[in-house]
């Protein structure tokens, strides 16, 4: 396996990338994943039409910091003209890559004809991509798709060919249909079929939870890069684990104390970046705190308490209490 791949003119290490996740992969999240080895990150999806109408959140969602590079800003929309205009606006923020979302399954996105609704209209998907590519100039445009709209309309290879012809520099494939949402198993066979159908790089996404499942994705699909979504929840260490595996090095999972330190660092970053007051910013941090506690004795109760956090001091105290619980549990065994 080569060390890097090219997305357009951008070199990306062939380890693992962070998937775009609305309401999760904000700047603090991306920075934490980059710190632990994410090869490439993608922003939360941004409405092309919203940007064109000067949405007040544009700067927050489209800003790319040097620490996050290489990074893509992801847009969603169903109209080529709006997509082209949005791309021109995003270029002002010096994004390394422009990514177009054609995989989001949520009704409010699909209902506008965007996201995975575009799996049902290959021509429109290609027209949107072509408009974005023309507007982007030298900046590469990529597209993220699903295996199809439903189990009886799996068309990712056909879609990928059309997107490649429209100028897409790479295609990311989530191996589920729209009607599966995030349930069932991701189909690596569809990702392999896409890889065989196009010459541009293919990024495989779906059910990557550790280094072994990442290696399996590479081996089963022949994809050029693996992308991780939910497997990174409370677990930025997954990128370090994958790096070690691909280098043939031994990996030492983090001790609970390190996980809690990283959780608190993540919360501090959220508070630092947020323009909201501490209490409101802590609302954003709650789910992340809960995810870091997954898989431990008594974690269900503590995760519930995470959703009541309203200050950093409370998070510190809860983390210490959680560590003490695990220590006492260990001592009693």
Radius of gyration of the chain (CA): 20
The DSSP annotation for 124-159 comes to HHHHHHHHHHHHHTTS-EEEEEEEESSTT-B-HHHH
Strand 97-102 with 141-148, pairing: parallel
Do 166 and 84 form a contact (C-beta atoms < 8 A)? no
The DSSP annotation for 158-197 comes to HHHHHHHHTT-SEEEEEEEEGGGTT-S---HHHHHHHHHH
Residue 116 buriedness (CB in 10 A; 0-12 / 13-18 / 19+): buried
Q: How far apart are CA 256 and CA 319, in angstroms?
A: 10
**Residue 208 per-residue DSSP state:** -
Residues serving a catalytic function are: 104
């Amino acid at each position: 396996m080569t060390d890097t791949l090219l997305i357009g003119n951008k070199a990306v290490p062939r380890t693992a990338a962070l998937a775009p996740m609305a309401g999760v992969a904000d700047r603090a999240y991306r920075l934490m994943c980059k710190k632990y080895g994410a090869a490439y990150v993608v922003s939360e999806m941004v409405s092309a039409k919203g940007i064109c109408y000067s949405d007040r959140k544009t700067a927050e969602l489209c800003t790319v910091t040097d620490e996050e590079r290489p990074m893509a800003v992801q847009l969603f929309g169903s109209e080529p003209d709006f997509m082209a205009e949005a791309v021109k606006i995003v270029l002002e923020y010096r994004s390394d890559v422009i990514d177009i979302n054609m995989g989001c399954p949520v009704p409010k996105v699909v209902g506008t004809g965007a996201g995975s609704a575009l799996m049902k209209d290959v021509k429109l998907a290609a027209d949107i991509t072509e408009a974005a590519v023309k507007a982007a100039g030298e900046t590469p445009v990529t597209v993220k798709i699903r295996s199809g709209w439903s189990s009886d309309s799996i068309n990712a290879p056909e879609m990928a060919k059309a997107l490649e012809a429209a100028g897409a520099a790479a295609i990311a494939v989530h191996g589920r249909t729209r009607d599966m949402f995030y349930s069932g198993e991701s189909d690596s066979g569809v990702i392999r079929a896409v890889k065989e159908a196009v010459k541009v790089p293919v990024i495989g996404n779906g059910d990557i939870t550790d280094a072994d499942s990442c290696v399996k994705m590479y081996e089963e699909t022949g994809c050029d890069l693996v992308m991780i979504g939910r497997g990174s929840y409370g677990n930025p260490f997954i990128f370090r684990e994958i790096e070690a595996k691909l280098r043939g090095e031994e990996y030492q999972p983090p001790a609970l104390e390190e996980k809690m330190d990283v959780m608190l660092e993540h919360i501090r970053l959220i508070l630092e970046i947020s323009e909201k007051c501490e209490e409101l910013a802590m609302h954003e941090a709650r789910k992340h705190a809960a995810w870091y506690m997954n898989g431990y004795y008594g974690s269900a109760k503590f995760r519930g308490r995470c959703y009541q956090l309203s200050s950093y001091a409370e998070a510190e105290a809860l983390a210490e209490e959680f560590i003490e619980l695990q220590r006492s549990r260990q001592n009693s065994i």
